[in-house]
Structures are given as C-alpha cells and as structure tokens.
Structure 1
Amino acid sequence: MKLRSSTRTLALSTALAATLALAACGASNEDDSSSSGSDSSGSSDAPADLSGDLAGAGSSAQQAAMEAWQAGFQGEYPDVNFSYDPAGSGAGREQFIAGTTAFAGSDAALKDDELTAATERCGGGEVFELPNYISPIAVIFNLDGVDELNLTPATIAGIFTGAITTWDDPAIAEDNPDATLPSTAITPVHRGDDSGTTQNFTDYLNQTAGDVWTSEPDGEWPLPGGEAANGTSGVVEVVTSTAGAVTYADASRAGDLGVASIGVGEEFVAPSAEAAAAVVENSPAVEGRGEFDFAIEVNRTTEDASEYPLVLVSYHIGCVTYDDQETADNVKAFMEYVISEDGQAAAAENAGNAPISDTIRDEGQSAVDAISAG
C-alpha cells in the first residue's frame, strides 16, 4: 500500500477571530471573489449568492470545529440555513444514507455495506469521504492527587475490559514506578451510542493489545460492565463527576481532567495535534475505494515516538452528484471552506485539532471541484 507524502505543514496558526473577520470581509466583497480563482478562504467556484438549507449530522467530536466552520461559512453566505446535529458518527451516517441530511460528519470511514447504501443514496454515483478533522483521542481520568499517568496499550485494554479494577493495580504501578497511586476503584466509562470515537479506540486496542483486547473494532461498545454515556460531552461529564473514572474522548475536550501518555515503542507519548497529524500523514489509504474517497488506514502499531497512534480521523461524507443545484452549490461551498487554510486554522483555534496537510487538501479539492447537480 502506498504511503502518503511525509511533507506536511503542522503550524496551528490564525486565530478564530481573525478568520471570522476574513470571512465577513469575503462576504462584503462577494462580487469580486466570485469571479476570481481559488483562494485560501474557499468558496471561489460557488455562486456569489447562496440560499436554502444545508443540513449535516454526525460526529460530536467535530462539534467545536463545526462551530468555527459554521461561523466562517455563514460569514460568507448568511442566507444559507445551516444546521449540524452532533448526534454521533453512526447516527450521522444513518441520516445521510437515509437522505435526511446533505452530508455526514463521521469519526470512522464508511463500512463496506454502508458504502454500498451511500452509493445508492447518491443515485448510483460517487461518494466522497474527506478526512477534514484530525485529532488525538485522549485517555482521560479523574484521580485525586494524580495529574499524570503513563499507560501501555495492554494496561489500557485491561482497564476497559474490567480486568484491572483499582488504580494501584500492579500493571499501572509498573507503568508509573515513581507515582503514588491510590487504591481507588476504577470506573471505566464508554460511549453508549454508535460512535466513531469508539470505533477508533477499539481498533487501536485490537491492533496494539490483541492478547488482552480480543473484541473486533466496533462503533458500538462490545463488552458488558462499566458506565455508558452518549456523546463526547456525556462521557466527559461522567468522568468529571466520578472519582476514579476514566474514559476515551477527543483530547480537546479533556479540560482540567488528567490525560494519560500512551506507550509507543519504548516511549510514552502524550496526545498532541502534531503527533496525531504525523501518524495520519504516514498511514496508507484504504484500498479499493472510489476516485473521491480518501479514507485512511491509520497505522496504529507505529513505534515512532513522534507519532500518536490513538487518533481519530473524522470525515465529511457526501455525494459527488446531488439531485438539485441548490444542495450541490451549498455542499460545494461549505466543503471548500472547510478544507481551506482559513477553515482549517479556524477549527484548530477553536478545537485544538491538527490542520490537514497540503497532500490531504489537494485530494479534497479534487472532490470539491467535482461536486455538481445531476
């Protein structure tokens, strides 16, 4: 499988306020920008005046980034009635396939059967999957007196299978020889909804700790026990209010909770946007997909300590050809803003994720250019 280019730009630049100011400026000069070539703010090929509805649904991990994208997009196109329901990745894919939304946000690429259904929803035409949001998944914990932890993949798997039940367990102590660990009971918290974050987390455990975690990757939590909550905010709220609790969630939502460093090779690596982007950039594309489907097979088993393999790549999924011109124009303009340098900088500022690389942007632009009405 061919690896993506290792050349990347990882700077987290351009404040959200500046981006929105640029968007507003773009809106006041739409007559000029509509006739120009592609620029960093996107929407260059879309009509100067857009209106109607644009509805999406899906990933709750994307929510903070989506707020920034919505603000920037509607700064340029205020007459578009934009809505996004952060109902979870599985629900987002279901709503898109059912035709109730124009696009989905998903922390996991379409499964083969979903891809078949999505192709049918798109009238038999091409489906696009654009990796527009890259962020580390953090192992987040609430443990009085402990701010930092190192956890190997096998230890994480033991915690979430229920084999490790207290924070002073020998396996955790071995990972943290200099820490004073309390005997507090561990409360593992998982997503109760069909979640792309769960899909990524269980895929990571399956690949890196297969002797302990024997379940197949799945967006629905596969084991009994533990506490369940819906959405990223739901699991974070449970951990915040429960001493000894631990969960997995988009790192940007950790707040003041503890965040573990995970074992990568012989080192322990903390989640960061840079390390998440690095592992994605050096991961192969999923084979056998369509021309505008850029799903990525994340290399979970890397031993490079500059990479953080517990990462989610969140996609925007839609049709290359829509039934009506209004929907096609709105989707095209929104996706072009999202992949633009301004759109990615706004998301990074608001959500703390990693901007996509130039390689991924160029791939995405080929799909955006192809969006039209049939």
Structure 2
Amino acid sequence: MKTKRHGAVVGLFAAGALLLTACGSDDNTGGNGGSTTGAAASDVAVECGGKSKLNAEGSSAQKNAIDTFIQSYQKKCSGSDLAYNPSGSGAGVKNFIAGQVDFGGSDSPLSKDKGEVDKATDRCKGNPAWNLPLVFGPVAIGYKLDGVKDLVLNGEVAAKIFNGTVKKWNDPAIKALNGSASLPDKDIKVVYRSDESGTTDNFQKYLKIASKGAWTQGDGKAFKGGVGEGKEKSAGVAQAAGSVDGAITYVELSFAQENKLSMAKIDTGAGAVELTGDTVGKAIDGAKVKGEGNDLVLDLDSIYGTTTAGAYPLVLATYEIVCSKGYDADTAKAVKAFLTVAATDGQAGLVDAGYAPLPKAFQDKLLTAIKAIA
C-alpha cells in the first residue's frame, strides 16, 4: 500500500470515522464508552486453525481491504494465510461456483436470473451460498479536466455522459449544474471497465434509478453504455482516466485518490454532495437487508435514489460469497476464522485503506452469519 494514497484517504475519512462507528479498534480499553461502537477484538472469540492457506478471488474494489484483513489474520492466527486474486467480480463468482476458490468476492450478490444462485447451491453440495457484505466503499465519478476541480453532476447528466448523449464538457446540461464555472469546449472521453465488474453493476444500477429515465441501457457486470474506451480492473480505468485530459470514469475512492483524479460532487436534488466520510456514513445508514436469514443481500436502491441532504449516493458493498454448509471441516474452520478476524480486528485499518468501517448493525449480523457456517 502506498503512503501517498493513504495520506489523502485518511484526510478524507478521518472526520467520518466516528459516524461510521468504526469497529475492531486496537484500543480495547472501552474508553469511548459508546453503545454504537462495533465489537472490539477481545470481545469476539476466534477459533484459529484448519486449512493453513485459503484461496479467494474476485472484486478488485476490495483488494486493499482484503490486504488489511490478511495482515490482521496472520497476526491473530499464526501460520494462517489467504491468497487473494483481484480478478474482478465476474471471475470471483465463476471460480467460486466452479469450486476453484474457498470464497468469492463480488460487488453485487449472486444473481438468481443468471442461474448463479442454483449453481452456487450445487457447488455447496446442495446447501445455499450466502452473500456476506464485508466491505463498504464509495465509488467516485472521477475525472481529469484542466482548470475544473469542482464539477457537479446529477444522476441524469451522468447517465447522458456514460451513454454518449452528452459528448462535450461545455454541454448545456453540464453548464446548468455548474453555474459560472468555465467549462471547456472539449470532448468527453469515457473510460469504463472492460472486464465483468460488480462496480460496473452498482454504477449502472445507480444510473438506472437516479437518472429519471435517461439511462435505459440496464445494469449488470458488463458496461452497457456503448461509448468510450474499456480498461481492465479498477487500477486500469483509474490510470487511463488520469492520463488523458477530458477523461471521466467510475472507480473506487482509493484508486481515484492514487491516480489524482478530481471527483464530481453529486446533486441528488437537495444540493451538491461531496464525497466525504460524513456523506458516505449518512448513505450507509440508509442501507437495508433484503436477503433472508444469514444471506445478507442489501437493498441499495434506497441509497442510489436518495434525496436526503448530505448523503453521497454512490456507495457499493462488496460481498464475500461463502457456502453456508458443504466445506470440509478444515476449510470451514479457516473460512470462519478469517471472516471473523476481518469483521473485527481487520476493521481498524479500513479508513487508512480508503474504505468505510462496518456499522455495528451490519457487524452484528455478519458475526451471526459467520458463526453459523458449517
């Protein structure tokens, strides 16, 4: 992890860390005394052991968070390790279903319509797979445009940019949101994820809900805007957008920061909202679980379509996709240990890595589900 990026990210999220009820702090003295703080490391038993090296694959959006979790896991469970391949959400789901990895990482839950739910049940020997939201992080609409640092967009205009309806930076639709700002007569260069990506799926879901009908292309892990240049993985789109004046993309916060992209404020109808710790925390507060039992699928539509003042609407949750039952005993033990550490001790480093720590309500639900894995 790069110190330069961490400095920028810490500055952005420091003010919001308390709002997000950070959990798993190394300070287990209980000094803050707050009832909303997540479970401290000493409060949750971790039964280490089992398979010495787990394998997981998937979302590149959560890669830096997983690195943080691995460090905590190695510290808590000596001799244990996890190898994580940030190959993208599509590959993570595919290879989990194929039994090639112990769990998959995806920025969107298993799709029943695509047959993923049934295939995952088969992989888990007739038992359901669970979607466990372990990592929360904001998605930035990142751009590079000389002389423009305070761009404001809304769902409708963003949709028209990413489906090619709005082609110039000085288009009247953009100018109407940016007052007296000087916008150049320059082509907009869209950069999108060329690999299957849960980030793409979440972004397109946001456009569909927030664009007032301007986005008709649908959602899914493949980008459907029909415009721009595709690049693989989060690092690829961020690097490409950061190298071309006039470029715009959608990418997770830490990658936008690392590549020095400007980030658009989003007007949800109650004024322009900047991406900060406080505004992300307000959005996460509105997330609800729609899955049943320990399958913790989130209903993010209320976030994407929010008109709550001060709530930043582009937030994704990355799921760890696991078997509820069907692992061999050693794998089950190790998966439970890793996820327990990630949901407790591992949360302490997330602000530093550019993510939002788990709100206590989600942490409690996660720990209940993790404990039930057999």
* TM-score range relative to shorter protein: 0.7 to 0.9
C-alpha separation in 2, matches of 1:166 and 1:297 = 34
% same residue: 33
Q: Which residue of 2 aligns with 1:293?
A: 295
- Between the aligned partners of 1:354 and 1:285, the Cα distance in structure 2 is 18
Alignment of 1:193-342 (within 5 A): 193-255=195-257, 256-286=260-290, 289-298=291-300, 299=302, 300-340=304-344, 342=345
SS of the counterpart of 1:292? coil
How big is the shift at 1:53? Answer: 2.3
Matched, 1:174 2:182: no
Length-normalised TM-score, structure 2: 0.86
Q: Could you say what secondary structure the match of 1:293 adopts?
A: coil
- The residue that corresponds to 2:165 in the other structure is 163
Q: Cα–Cα, structure 1 residues 141 and 164, in superposed 2: closer, same or farther, change >3 Å?
A: same
Pairwise mapping of residues 1-374 of structure 1 onto structure 2 (< 5 A)?
A: 9-11=19-21, 40=41, 44-47=45-48, 49-112=49-112, 113-255=115-257, 256-286=260-290, 289-298=291-300, 299=302, 300-340=304-344, 342-350=345-353, 352-372=354-374
SS in structure 2 opposite 1:254? helix
Q: Secondary structure at the match of 2:288?
A: coil
Correspondence for 2:3: none
When the two chains are superposed, the root-mean-square deviation of aligned CA atoms in Å is 2.1
Change (3 A) 1:43 1:97: farther
Output the CA distance in 1 between the equivalents of 2:371 and 2:342: 14
**CA displacement, residues 293-328 of structure 1 (integer Å, 9 cap, x when unaligned):** 011111121110232221111111101223311111
1:55, 1:84 within 8 Å by CA — same for their partners in 2? yes
Decide whether aligned partners of structure 1 residues 42 and 326 sit closer, same or farther in structure 2, where only a CA change above 3 A counts. farther
More displaced stretch, 271-280 vs 307-316 = 271-280
Contact 1:134 1:276 survives alignment (8 Å): no
Q: State the 1:221 CA deviation.
A: 0.8
C-alpha contact 1:106 1:316 (8 A) present in aligned 2? yes
**Aligned equivalents of 2:209, 2:252: Cα separation in 1:** 20
For residue 148 of structure 2, give the secondary structure of its aligned residue in structure 1.
Answer: coil
Read off the aligned partner of 1:333 and give its amino acid letter.
A
Per the alignment, residue 27 of structure 1 pairs with none
Per the TM alignment, residue 272 of structure 1 is displaced from its structure 2 partner at its CA by 2.6
Q: Distance in 2 between matches of 1:272 and 1:57?
A: 29
**Quick check: 2:24–2:40 contact (8 Å CA) kept in 1?**
no
Point out 4+ residue stretches in structure 1 off by more than 3 angstroms: 11-15
Give the conservation status (yes or no) of the 8 Å contact 1:128–1:317: yes
Per-residue CA deviation, residues 194-248 of structure 1 (Å, 9 max, x unaligned), is: 1000000000010111421111111101132300001000000100111110000
> Contact between 2:128 and 2:325, CA under 8 Å: does it hold in 1?
yes
1:293 to 1:277, Cα distance in 2 relative to 1, 3 A: farther
What is the CA-CA distance between 1:102 and the residue it aligns to? Answer: 0.7
Q: Secondary structure at the match of 2:222?
A: coil
**SS of aligned partner of 1:179:** coil
Secondary structure of the structure 2 residue equivalent to 1:354: coil
Provide the residue aligned with 1:35 in structure 2: none
Q: Distance in 1 between matches of 2:102 and 2:216?
A: 37
Deviation at 1:41, TM superposition (A): 5.7
8 A Cα contact 2:102 2:335, kept in partner: yes
- 8 Å CA contact retained: 1:42, 1:337: no
Q: How far apart, CA to CA, are the structure 2 residues paired with 1:268 and 1:150?
A: 7
Q: Shift of the alpha carbon at 1:126?
A: 3.1
**Paired position in structure 1 for 2:4:** none
Q: Is the 8 A contact 2:138 2:316 kept in 1?
A: yes
- The size of the alignment, in residue pairs, is 341
Residue 298 of structure 2: SS of its match in structure 1? coil
Tell me, in whole angstroms, the C-alpha distance in 2 between the residues paired with 1:39 and 1:143: 43
